[in-house]
Amino acid sequence: MEKRENTLKTERMRFSGRLLERGFWLYAWKIEAEDGRCVLYVGRTGDSSSVHAGSPFNRIGQHLDFRASAKGNSMARNLRKAGIEPSHCDFDMIAIGPLFLEHNTAEQHRSIRDKVAALECQTAKTLTDWGYEVLGTHGSRKPLDTELWTYVEDVLRQHVPPCSAT
CA proximity to 18, closest of 47, 55, 58: 55
CA 117 to chain centroid, in Å, comes to 12
pTM to 2 decimals?
0.87
53-80 pLDDT, tens digit each: 989 998 888 878 777 777 778 888 889 9
Cis omega before residue 98 (within 30°)?
yes
Between residues 132 and 70, which one has the greater pLDDT? Answer: 132
115-131 pLDDT, tens digit each: 999 999 999 999 999 99
Burial class (CB in 10 A: 0-12, 13-18, 19+), 54: buried
CA dist 53 and 25 (Å) reads: 8
Q: Identify the band that residue 6 occupies on the pLDDT scale cut at 50, 70 and 90.
A: low
165 has a pLDDT exceeding 50:
no
Neighbouring-strand partners of residue 90: 32
73-116 pLDDT, tens digit each: 888 888 999 999 998 999 999 999 999 999 878 899 999 999 99
Supply the pLDDT for residue 5: 62
Between residues 111 and 49, which one has the greater pLDDT? Answer: 111
